[in-house]
Structure 1
Amino acid sequence: MSTEFNLPGSSFEEVQKILKGYSHASENASLETLSKLTGLHTTVISRNNKFLSDIGLISGGMKKSATELGKKLGRALEHKQIQDVQKYWAEAVRTNETVSSLITTVRIKGEMAEKDLSDHILYVSGQKNNSGNKTGATCVVDVLIEAKLLEVKDGKLSVAKPVEQSIDEVVKAVKPLDVPSLLPNNDNLNSQAVPAVPAIVANNIPQIAINIQLHLPETDNAEVYEKLFKALREQLINPKD
């Protein structure tokens, strides 16, 4: 399978401006319509359309429309919702096998300078080595960084690790269960006593069934899981408070 793909024709800032324009445009918008919405020349928009189509953000023929993903990303950009922007860029990258494979290249290398990755992108794209395509290759690097698929440290790019700091947030969100307050009693036993916890009657003795669903982070670091389960044990079985 060929690894060649279309590069953006502008800087990352202009590409984001184009996406915001598409998110406001009606279906099957013309280049002239997009130009009025973005303040960019039609040729600037046109030379980015193939890349945006390749990563699933716009679709159509001569006249194009934002996809559902493109609309979400454009709106998130406009409202500066950083987490959603990162999420939707990552989804867009993953829609294209050749673009997402760039992550594998960095993983194999261990780390790469931004210029080295940009040069590699230009090479594997199959496009000409000119200033416009160099700008496009740099834009792709910026997309991967913005999507939090790559991270920059000491001037080097590496594959971003799962966001392990969110573990502490997960732990804080797990509150000790006040089990006695959930149990029915003779003074106040009615259908609303435990609305979120189904009651099970076994041998005429009311019992409580509590289901806890966990969404664990994707990581190869065993310490993350040990930390999480230790916190769950302390919170749910032996709460201090």
Structure 2
Amino acid sequence: MAEEGFRLPGSGYGELVNIIVAYGTRDGASDPADIGRLDPQASAARNNAFLTGIGVLRGGDKKLVTDRGRALARSLWSGTPDEARRRWREIVPTDGFLQDIVAAVKLRDGMSRHALLAYIANAARVPRNKPTMSGAAAVIEILKASGLLKEDEDRLVASFEEPAVPDHDLPGNPRNEPGGEVGLSPSPSDDEQAEVSESVSVDAPGGVEARVVIQVQVRCTTDEVDGLGPRLRKLLDDLSGRPG
């Protein structure tokens, strides 16, 4: 049996926002109720699978808005663009498909809108028809609203700013405390792209062992991929003090 594809939005971004707002800001949407009472049922039904997949909704036939979905809805309804951006950025990192789209744009150093629409449809494993392309366009607008993609002349490029981390994913130990992790994340340059991380144990004062996590981003062409692995491994060996 063929693997089921990703459920894209069933309408454009503007209509999708209206449905999210209907679920999250009106009194009727605070209960496990049919959104058809609030907005045209067919329109909501086309988007329920997507909204459930990204954690805005939960439940079976009777959908409930999640706490994260309600916060997003309120920011879209009455918040500032910065607040809406922050709420979208809490959602995007929790969905592998949306993360993969951002990664694809990064790896290609930007894509035209037409190419990205086609890529999203192919990645979702759905036919390229009008509803599909509307849904793909909605995904692009979500990623733009989150600040993870931006327009650069006639291309869409990825922002290298780190997305927001959901509160429940934050580490228990503060940074720079004994037993915690000290993150070193250099700003990406034109020669960087793929991420590599390595943990290195060092002796800290008082006999406490501190762990330093170093992240390296490497950008290369397809012709350079074959020789990339040994060079990265040598770099990690040098950082950790292991013999080559």
SS in structure 1 of the partner of residue 30 of structure 2 = coil
Deviates more, 1:3-12 or 1:99-108: 3-12
Q: Identify the residue that residue 33 of structure 2 maps to in structure 1.
A: 29
1:3, CA displacement in angstroms?
8.7
Alpha-carbon distance in 1 for matches of 2:95, 2:153: 29
1:6, CA displacement in angstroms?
0.6
Alpha-carbon distance in 2 for matches of 1:124, 1:71: 28
> Contact 1:162 / 1:218 at 8 angstroms: preserved in 2?
no
Against the structure 1 CA distance between its residues 105 and 218, is the aligned structure 2 distance closer, same or farther, given a 3 Å change threshold? farther
Q: Identify the residue that residue 11 of structure 2 maps to in structure 1.
A: 10
Alignment-mate amino acid for residue 142 of structure 2: V
1:161, CA displacement in angstroms?
3.0
Q: Identify the residue that residue 123 of structure 2 maps to in structure 1.
A: 124
Counterparts in 2 of 1:1-241, with a 5 A limit? 4-23=5-24, 24=26, 25-35=29-39, 41-162=40-161, 220-221=186-187
* Identity across matched positions, percent: 27
> Contact 2:11 / 2:43 at 8 angstroms: preserved in 1?
yes
Alpha-carbon distance in 1 for matches of 2:47, 2:188: 42
1:219, CA displacement in angstroms?
5.6
Q: Rg bigger for which structure? A: 1
Alignment-mate amino acid for residue 113 of structure 2: E
Against the structure 1 CA distance between its residues 21 and 113, is the aligned structure 2 distance closer, same or farther, given a 3 Å change threshold? same
What CA deviation, in whole Å up to 9, does each residue of 1:175-217 have, x standing for no partner? xxxxxxxxxxxxxxxxxxxxxxxxxxxxxxxxxxxxxx9xx99
RMSD after superposition: 2.6
What CA deviation, in whole Å up to 9, does each residue of 1:38-77 have, x standing for no partner? xxx2101100010011110011111101101100000001
Give the structure-1-normalised TM-score.
0.64
Alignment-mate amino acid for residue 187 of structure 2: N
Alignment-mate amino acid for residue 13 of structure 2: F
Gaps of 5+ in 1: 36-40, 164-212, 224-241
Structure 1 residue runs of 4 or more that deviate by more than 4 Å after TM superposition: 216-219
SS in structure 2 of the partner of residue 220 of structure 1 = coil
Against the structure 1 CA distance between its residues 218 and 33, is the aligned structure 2 distance closer, same or farther, given a 3 Å change threshold? farther
SS in structure 2 of the partner of residue 6 of structure 1 = coil
Alignment-mate amino acid for residue 105 of structure 2: V
SS in structure 2 of the partner of residue 151 of structure 1 = strand
Alpha-carbon distance in 1 for matches of 2:150, 2:103: 14
Alpha-carbon distance in 2 for matches of 1:107, 1:42: 37
Alpha-carbon distance in 2 for matches of 1:124, 1:114: 15
SS in structure 2 of the partner of residue 62 of structure 1 = coil
Alpha-carbon distance in 1 for matches of 2:184, 2:69: 26
Gaps of 5+ in 2: 163-176, 190-244
Alpha-carbon distance in 2 for matches of 1:129, 1:111: 22
> Contact 1:162 / 1:217 at 8 angstroms: preserved in 2?
no
Alpha-carbon distance in 2 for matches of 1:57, 1:44: 16
Against the structure 1 CA distance between its residues 150 and 219, is the aligned structure 2 distance closer, same or farther, given a 3 Å change threshold? farther
Instruction: Work out the number of aligned pairs and report it.
Output: 168
Give the structure-2-normalised TM-score.
0.63
Query: Is the strand fraction higher in 1 or 2?
Result: 2
Against the structure 1 CA distance between its residues 218 and 45, is the aligned structure 2 distance closer, same or farther, given a 3 Å change threshold? farther
Q: Identify the residue that residue 179 of structure 1 maps to in structure 2.
A: none
SS in structure 1 of the partner of residue 141 of structure 2 = helix
Alignment-mate amino acid for residue 75 of structure 2: A
SS in structure 2 of the partner of residue 158 of structure 1 = strand
> Contact 2:109 / 2:157 at 8 angstroms: preserved in 1?
yes
